[in-house]
C-alpha cells in the first residue's frame, strides 16, 4: 500500500513531466497515465520551443537531486543518447542552478562559528560550480594557499529522503508483483543506491575518501588528487586545494594544447583496473564534470580528479570472480565464464553449464567480430543481462557501482579516443594482479598477517581439548547438524550413542597426546602414553564389518 505522501509525490513528478511537454515519458511509465487527459492547461509550460534535451534537463533539475544524478549518469554515455539530449544533460555535471549566496555564507559561518572574513583571506561569494548535492566557491587561506570551499545544499537531505521513499515504494511493488522482481532485487538495488547517495551528504566522509585516494596515487604520473585541508573541514563544509586543469569535456582546448588522446584514454582504463583490483578503492562518480586534465606536458597528460563523495570497494571473493570473468571474456573462454557464474552463485545451481556457455558464446562472438571502434562494453553488458534473464541470474547490488563506473570509463575513453582498446589495456593489469595474488610471496605475507590471530587460537587449544574430553566422557558432548537430509543418520547415531561418545573421547585423547608431544611437555613419556591410550580406544571401538 502506497503512503499518501508517496502518491502525491508521484503525481507531482507526472505533473512536472507534463509541464515540460514530456508526455511520452508519462505514457511509458504507465503510473497515473490518465492524468495527462485531465491536466489543466495552466500547469503546462510553453516549453515546446525548447529542444527535447533542454526540456529533459529542466525537468530533472526541478524534480531534484535524485533525478539530477540520474541525468548525470546518462550524460556519460553520449553514444547511447540523441546528440541534443546528451549535450543538454552534460550541463547537469556542474551547471545546476546555484542556491542563494547569503544561504551559502550562513552555512559556512554557522559551521565555523566565525565570519567568513575571519576564516579566509578572501572568499568569492559567487559559486565556481553548482551540482545536485552541493556547490563550490573559491577562496584563499590566511597563509595564501588557494582553495575551494564546497558547501552542502540546504534541505538536500530531506528532498533525497522524500524521493527515496518513492523509489522504495516502486521497488517494493516491483518485487511483489513483477515476474522479474525476485531476480533483479529492486529493493536491494535501491538500498545500495540510498547508501551511496546519503554518504555524499557527509563532507567529512568525502574528505577521508579524497585523502585515501591521494595516498594511493602519491607520486603517480597518471592521476593527481588535491590535498584536503582538514582543519577547515566540517560535516557540511569541505575545503581542499584548488586545482587548475582543462575540463575533460573541453575537447577543443585539449586538441589545441596538443594532448596525446590515446595515452590519456589508455591511462583512464589503467586507472580503473588499478583502483578496483590493486587498491580495492575506486572513485565511483567519474562523470566528466569531476575530471580535469593537466596538460603541462601534452604528450604525457595527467588526470585530476575532484568530488570524492562516492567511492566503491569489493569483497575479496567478488574481486577474484570479477577478475576471472574479465580474463575469461578477454580470452573468449565461454566455458570458464559460465562456470564462474555457477561457482559464484550468480545463477541457480541447477543451471546447465553447457547451455549457459552456449548462450554467452552466442552473445559475445558477434560483438568481438566487429571493428574495434564499434565494440561497446555497455552494449555487451545489456546483451548479457538479457541473456542472463533466461537463466534467472540474480542482480548483484554490491557490483552496481562498479558496473556504473566501468560504463563511465568506457564512455569517457571513447569520447577521447574512439579506437580505445579496453581489452588490450585492461588484460595485462588483470593478469599481473592474478599472478601477484597467487604468488608465494603474497601467500607468505598473508600468513604473517594472520600469525598473531593463529597464535591466540593455538593458546586456547589445550583448554578446548580438555573441555571436549570432559564432555565426551560424561556423555554431554553433542553435535548439531542442520542438513535435513541426515535424519536417518541421526537415528542410527542415537542407537549407538555409547560407541560414538567413546570414539569422540578416544579422538580427543589422541589429539591431547599429540599436543603434549608437540609442546614438549615433561616428562616426555606422558605425551606418548596419552597418544597410545587414544589410539587403543579407537581400535577397540572400531565397528565390525557387517
Tens of pLDDT along the chain (546 residues) come to 556 777 777 778 778 878 888 766 555 555 544 544 444 444 454 546 778 888 888 888 888 877 777 777 666 655 556 777 777 877 776 677 889 999 999 999 999 999 999 999 999 999 998 888 899 999 999 999 999 999 999 988 888 888 888 777 777 766 676 665 566 566 776 777 777 788 888 999 999 999 999 999 999 999 999 999 999 999 999 999 999 999 998 999 999 999 999 999 889 889 988 998 889 999 988 878 889 999 999 999 999 999 998 898 888 888 888 888 888 887 889 999 889 888 888 788 888 999 999 998 988 888 776 655 666 666 666 666 667 667 877 666 667 777 777 777 877 887 788 877 777 777 888 888 888 876 666 656 656 666 566 555 666 667 667 676 776 776 666 665 555 444 554 555 555 555 655 656 666 655 666 655 555 555 665 656 656 665 665 555 555 444
Cell numbers representing residue 390 in the block: 533466461
**Taking the model in full, what pTM does it have?**
0.69
List C-alpha distances in Å: 101 to 68, 98, 114, 202: 21, 8, 17, 21
Contacts by 35-44 with C-beta closer than 8 Å and gap 24+? 35/11, 39/15, 43/15, 43/18, 43/19, 44/18, 44/19
36: which DSSP letter? G
Q: How far apart are CA 199 and CA 194, in angstroms?
A: 8
**For residue 546, what pLDDT is reported?**
42
Provide the annotated active-site residues.
Answer: 285
Q: What is the reported pLDDT for 513? A: 61
Q: What is the predicted pLDDT for the residue at 42? A: 42
Query: Could you tell me if 265 and 248 are in contact, meaning their C-beta atoms sit under 8 angstroms apart?
Result: no
Q: Are strands 134-140 and 129-130 parallel, antiparallel or unpaired?
A: antiparallel
User: Which H/E stretch holds residue 504?
Assistant: helix 497-518
Quote the radius of gyration of the chain (alpha carbons, Å): 31
Cell of 453: 590471530
Q: How many residues does the chain have?
A: 546
| Residue entry with cell 517494493 | 172
Whole-angstrom CA distances from 445 to 130, 216, 435, 456, 511 are 46, 20, 15, 18, 29
Q: Note the pLDDT of residue 200.
A: 86
CA angle at residue 389 from 424 to 164, to 5 degrees? 90
Q: What is the pLDDT of residue 70?
A: 72
Q: Which residues of 232-244 are buried (b: 16+ CB within 10 A; e: fewer)?
A: bbbebbbbbbbbe
Amino acid at each position: 500500500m502506497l503512503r499518501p505522501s508517496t502518491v502525491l509525490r508521484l503525481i507531482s513528478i507526472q505533473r512536472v513531466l507534463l509541464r515540460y511537454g514530456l508526455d511520452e515519458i508519462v505514457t511509458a511509465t504507465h503510473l497515473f497515465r490518465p492524468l495527462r487527459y485531465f491536466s489543466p492547461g495552466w500547469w503546462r509550460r510553453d516549453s515546446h520551443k525548447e529542444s527535447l534535451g533542454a526540456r529533459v534537463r529542466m525537468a530533472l533539475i526541478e524534480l531534484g537531486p535524485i533525478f539530477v544524478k540520474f541525468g548525470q549518469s546518462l550524460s556519460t554515455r553520449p553514444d547511447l543518447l540523441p546528440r541534443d539530449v546528451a549535450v543538454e544533460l552534460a550541463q547537469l555535471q556542474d551547471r545546476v542552478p546555484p542556491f542563494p549566496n547569503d544561504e551559502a555564507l550562513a552555512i559556512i559561518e554557522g559551521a565555523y562559528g566565525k565570519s567568513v572574513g575571519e576564516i579566509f583571506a578572501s572568499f568569492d561569494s559567487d559559486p565556481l560550480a553548482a551540482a545536485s548535492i552541493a556547490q563550490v566557491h573559491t577562496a584563499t587561506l590566511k597563509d595564501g594557499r588557494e582553495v575551494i570551499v564546497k558547501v552542502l545544499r540546504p534541505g538536500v537531505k530531506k528532498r533525497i529522503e522524500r524521493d527515496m521513499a518513492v523509489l522504495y515504494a516502486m521497488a517494493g511493488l516491483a518485487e511483489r508483483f513483477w515476474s522479474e522482481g525476485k531476480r533483479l532485487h529492486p529493493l536491494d538495488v535501491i538500498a545500495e543506491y540510498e547508501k551511496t547517495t546519503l554518504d555524499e551528504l557527509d563532507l567529512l566522509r568525502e574528505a577521508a575518501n579524497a585523502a585515501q585516494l591521494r595516498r594511493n596515487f602519491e607520486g603517480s604520473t597518471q592521476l593527481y588528487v588535491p590535498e584536503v585541508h582538514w582543519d577547515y573541514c566540517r560535516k557540511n563544509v569541505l575545503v581542499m586545494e584548488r586545482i587548475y586543469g582543462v575540463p575533460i569535456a573541453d575537447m577543443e582546448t585539449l586538441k589545441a594544447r596538443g594532448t596525446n588522446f590515446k595515452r590519456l584514454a589508455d591511462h583512464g582504463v589503467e586507472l580503473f583496473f588499478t583502483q578496483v583490483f590493486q587498491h580495492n578503492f575506486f572513485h565511483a562518480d567519474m562523470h566528466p564534470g569531476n575530471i580535469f586534465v593537466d596538460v603541462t606536458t601534452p604528450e604525457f597528460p595527467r588526470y585530476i580528479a575532484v568530488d570524492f563523495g562516492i567511492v566503491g570497494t569489493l569483497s575479496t571473493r567478488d574481486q577474484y570472480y570479477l577478475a576471472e570473468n574479465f580474463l575469461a571474456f578477454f580470452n573468449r573462454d565461454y566455458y570458464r565464464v559460465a562456470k564462474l557464474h555457477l561457482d559464484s552463485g550468480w545463477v541457480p545451481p541447477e543451471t546447465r553449464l553447457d547451455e549457459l556457455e552456449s548462450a554467452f558464446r552466442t552473445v559475445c562472438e558477434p560483438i568481438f567480430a566487429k571493428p574495434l571502434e564499434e565494440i561497446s562494453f555497455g552494449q555487451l553488458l545489456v546483451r548479457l543481462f538479457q541473456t542472463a534473464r533466461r537463466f534467472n541470474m540474480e542482480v548483484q547490488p554490491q557490483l552496481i557501482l562498479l558496473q556504473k563506473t566501468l560504463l563511465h570509463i568506457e564512455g569517457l575513453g571513447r569520447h577521447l579516443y574512439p579506437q580505445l582498446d579496453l581489452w588490450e589495456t585492461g588484460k595485462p593489469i588483470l593478469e599481473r594482479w592474478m599472478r601477484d595474488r597467487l604468488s608465494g610471496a603474497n601467500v607468505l605475507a598473508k600468513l604473517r598477517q594472520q600469525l598473531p590471530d593463529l597464535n591466540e587460537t593455538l593458546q586456547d587449544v589445550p583448554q578446548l581439548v580438555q573441555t571436549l574430553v570432559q564432555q565426551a566422557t560424561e556423555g554431554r558432548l553433542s553435535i548439531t547438524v542442520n542438513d535435513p537430509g541426515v535424519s536417518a543418520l541421526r537415528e542410527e547415531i542415537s542407537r549407538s550413542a555409547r560407541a560414538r561418545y567413546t570414539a569422540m573421547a578416544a579422538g580427543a585423547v589422541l589429539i591431547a597426546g599429540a599436543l603434549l608431544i608437540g609442546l614438549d611437555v615433561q616428562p616426555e613419556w606422558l605425551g606418548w602414553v596419552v597418544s597410545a591410550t587414544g589410539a587403543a580406544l579407537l581400535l577397540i571401538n572400531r565397528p565390525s564389518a557387517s
